[in-house]
Amino acid sequence: MTLDGTVTDRRIIGMPASPGIVIGPVHLLLWEVPDVPHTIIPDEAVAGEIARLHAAIDRAKERLEQVKRRAENHAGPEEAAIFDVQIHILSDVELIQRVESLIRQNIGAEKAFDLVLIEWRQHFARHAQPMIRERVSDLTDVQIRVLSILLGLPDHDPVDVPKGTNAILVTHDLTPSLTVQLDREAIAAIATDAGTRTSHVAILARSLGLPAVVGLRDATSRLHAGEQVILDGSSGLLLPEPTPAQIEAYTDRAAREAADEAELRHLIGAEPVTLDGVRIILRANVDLPEEAAYAAHSGAEGVGLMRTEFLVVGRASMPDEEEQYRAYKKVVMAFDNHPVVIRTFDMGGDKLPIGGYPTEANPFLGWRAIRMCLDEPELFKTQLRALLRAAMHGDVRIMLPLIVTVDEVRQARRLLEEAGRELDARNVEYRHDLPLGIMVETPAAAVAADTLAHDVAFFSIGTNDLVQYTLAVDRGNANLASRFTPLHPAVLRLIRRIVEVGGHHGLEVSVCGEMASQPLMAFALIGLGVRQLSVAARSVPLVKRIVRGVSARVATDAADAALNAQTARESEALLRARLLSAFGDAPFLRDGLPAYVDGNTFEGYGGP
């Protein structure tokens, strides 16, 4: 059912990832390695196939030069450097000779190129050097680009979208090389077949303020380039070929939402205090250094989570110490003396900003986050040195992701001390007493919080992964989205335990997961005793409105009831009833309350 009550057969329902309504043309981006037929060519066709191969490579290189120039203009030279690597790959003599050799064995140019790139990707993925493994994503992009030319497939680079188009980018998933090319003056919204509300593309869309719907499964095969579509990021709906009545209805709603948001922005300077006088510290999550200024003007009292892995999205190599230092310094200085919590690289799982890591059967349980950093000490110490230097400009705090043992904390601390000694040797100034805290995002860390508390300065609860690991639900799997339930009593009990242990040891406990941005979840967290929340910058006024409209006592009563619920559905219903009694049907709650769709699933967070 659409906004004006009309049911259309072509409506496509996914998961809401970033709120907002956009009415615009589809920019269809089929960025996947195409199927390549195995063709055998006669001897007399060999020379022609080799010539066709070289023509395709030359055309691909010209195209990459063009893409690089455009990416430099709206993303910067460092981000555009990814295309230099791809141009270099296409100039590799060994690669070209290998493809030519297969063609001389009577294999068609497309299949010969495809076979060699598959071979190279497998070889690079198994390489011992991380910097070599990082090239796999570049090889994949090169493979897609050249094969598309050889097969006569359309060129879909998003940089081709003219500014002011107000296009809706529809693709299977958003890769690093595509992310670099995103031009917000041309792309107004994102829709992807893959992903969930907590996936990389969803987080990125919210950070950029782009409405987004993810988990659409087959939108790329159901939509046509250029056709008019309504995207509703709040309900997770794509509506192709809208009628005039539907366009009018959604246009009216977009105007109302804009007015609601403007009203909430009046709260930017207000203090986040509950009706019964409990002060809540409200900070912002920052993905990109460029977001710091906006976040600082959102009313946030510092940064509760800076995701540093986004510094290397789309990059062919890791940023060096100086580049990282400048990025961290930019965020720190935007917040004067407010705390800025910077998380060390959390790469792996669904976060492969530079790609090329070994393929793992269970990446979320594999070589990622602190595990990778401890195994790559030089890479990790480069980041630590940059953080120590950036701390000279403000209140920097270091947060370690995916900690499950005390040994990991102690090993990281030793590397931090070693990084300091390396700066001493260079006579570089840095701050010596940086607080070292951890993300509590596994059941192991939550249960062992009393042990970890002796070695850390603060806890920050990463709700996305805590839910994932507690419920054994892959948060990146669209097929399991209905089972990703943050309000499951088991999750709530772990959060309550972390808060109690932190309080007992005098540690600050915050929540920096996406959960805190949702009104119902923020209400639940206040009830569980959390007094520091970190949310997307654009959600700061909304969460502040929730804080100022409820009593901590009522929230605690509601959370106590939810803790004793039998199911996530029952828990959600108990909390929802208490929140609605405080606010009624307030407009700002519509995007934040999980709602039942078709009577049996939660919208956005899934079913019981």
Active site (annotated) includes residue 432: no
**228 exposed, middle or buried (CB, 10 Å; 0-12, 13-18, 19+)?**
middle
Is 505 in the active site?
A: no
> Per the residue annotation, which of 27, 393, 488, 512 is the catalytic one?
512
Q: Which of 87, 82, 79, 80 is nearest to 61 (CA)?
A: 87
What is the tens place of the pLDDT at every residue in 534-573? 998 888 998 999 999 999 999 999 999 999 999 999 999 9
Supply the pTM of this predicted model: 0.70
Residues paired with residue 460 on neighbouring β-strands, in sequence order: 439, 510
Res 436 pLDDT > 90? yes
Q: Where are the alpha helices (H) located in 427-551, listed in sequence order?
A: 443-447, 449-452, 463-471, 489-504, 519-527, 540-549
**Highest mean pLDDT (candidates 18-22, 149-153, 237-241, 499-503):** 499-503
Over residues 329-387, the pLDDT tens digits come to 999 999 988 999 999 998 765 554 444 455 566 777 888 889 989 998 998 999 999 99
Answer whether 309's CB lies under 8 Å from 345's CB: yes
**Lowest pLDDT segment from 185-189, 359-363, 408-412:** 359-363
Specify the pairing of strand 212-214 against strand 15-18. antiparallel
* Catalytic member of 200, 373, 393, 488: 200
Residue type, 203: I
pLDDT of res. 433: 92
* Whole-number pLDDT of residue 79: 62
How does DSSP classify residue 538?
G
